[in-house]
A and B are shown apart, each in its own frame.
Chain A
Amino acid sequence: MRLSAFEIGCVRGNRYIFQKLSFAVGAGQCLLVHGPNGAGKSTLLRVIAGLLPISSGRLNLEGGDTDQTLGEQAHYFGHQDALKSSLSVRENLSFWALYFGGVAEAVEKALESVGLAPLSNLPAAHLSAGQRRRLSLARLLVSERPIWLLDEPTAALDTAAQDRLTELMRAHLGRGGIIVAATHGPIGLSDAQAIRLGAR
């Protein structure tokens, strides 16, 4: 499996957020996207997720499931946590597990692995910012999708949770997955390639 972009550009509000951007990531590889605020890191991830159209260039996934779009094979982990405050931690995660075609058994395991199992009956309204982020992260684990798109995944996480995230990312890469992560700091993966987007 190989995700490649050839000179892609994205226009928003009559100007290029980025243009002539090329990269290629293979199975088991991680691409880090660096750049100052407003450089288009989040836009790039949303373009790969299929939530924004590309204005020029080509974006291909070789070796994926041809019946599904690129977005349907990707998990998008953005700034918004997609949690409902009035549902419990378990209800929030179970819904996404079932909606993404995962199995209910995966929910307990995922909660365990992000350290939220003791809080599973608590309404999500009572969670702290970091805990909400971890619950959102657990969504990547309840259903199998080969591409992870992570937008500043370490934001609001404590150091222990950041280490856990790095482990989860390594495990995903070990299974032959692809990760594209927008990040400011180091993420703990030594062999990742990196691209830098310029400021506008």
Chain B
Amino acid sequence: MIPLSALLIRDVRLALRVGGGALMGVLFFMTVVAIVPFAVGPDLALLHRIGPAILWVGALLASLLTLDRLFAADHEDGSLDLLLMARTPLELAIVVKALAHWLTTALPLVGAVPVLALFLDLESRAAAAVALTLLVGTPALTCIGLIGSALAVALHRGGLLLPVLVLPLTVPVLIFGVSASNAAIGGPVPFGAPFTILIALSLASLVIGPFAAAAALRHGAE
């Protein structure tokens, strides 16, 4: 357990220090959500209706932005070689890195939702629904992103590869996240069905993501 907690502390520290990803994700999220009302125009009814969708799209793009560096930074400075040679299984190390990433970049997004809901004329019930669906849906985004991030390192291609690979895979999460939020606000479908599917997506990607990412990284080292 000591090696894993040391890795968690290191990654959290790196994200919170100058140049880390924690602030970048939440600032990007705020920027995206804040400019939408300007583009849509002063139609409160429309904003009210598409508010949860805008928050979800903003959160999705913000988590993609920071996932890019998850393994690339360790690959560039040689840390990844040493992680591969350690006695701690790579899969566990990846789970811990994902946890650190989620704590420092996804959790602030959930925290920012109540503030940003004001921009979109969402009442407190709707804001709470979006915050709750993001809380259970963002682990899926992080774990799916792990695969893309590891493949980008393995194939020596950064930048554009990650969104192209990852975005299609995150579409189900987006669909059920937004429909669960809308259901909670008073949509036609009951809240339980899309919400449990969202939880299932998170749990499934939590299992698949680390193994797929570890396989990609091991292959990439060769």
Interface residues of A (CB under 8 A from B): 46, 49-53, 68, 71-72, 74, 76, 78-87, 91, 94-96, 98-101
Contacts and interface: CB of A to CB of B under 8 A. Distances in A.
Contacts, number: 78
Given A49-B81, A80-B77, A99-B83, 12 more contacts: A50-B85, A51-B84, A76-B85, A82-B77, A83-B77, A84-B10, A86-B20, A87-B13, A87-B17, A98-B2, A99-B7, A100-B3
Q: Which 5 A-B pairs have the closest CB atoms?
A: A80-B78, A98-B6, A86-B17, A82-B78, A82-B79
Contacts of A50: 84-85
Interface in B14-41: 14, 17-20
Contacts of B208: none
A87 B14 contact: yes
A98 B82 CA distance: 13
Contacts of B196: none
A99 B6 contact: yes
Residue among A72, A74, A98 with the highest chain B CB neighbour number at 10 A: A98
B81 A91 contact: no
A72 B78 contact: no
A62 B81 CA distance: 24
B43 interface: no
B153 to A, nearest CB: 14
Given A86-B20, A95-B10, A78 B85 contact: no
A99 B88 CA distance: 8
A50 B87 CA distance: 13
B221 interface: yes
A51 B219 CA distance: 10
B86 interface: yes
B150 to A, nearest CB: 16
Contacts of A49: 81, 85
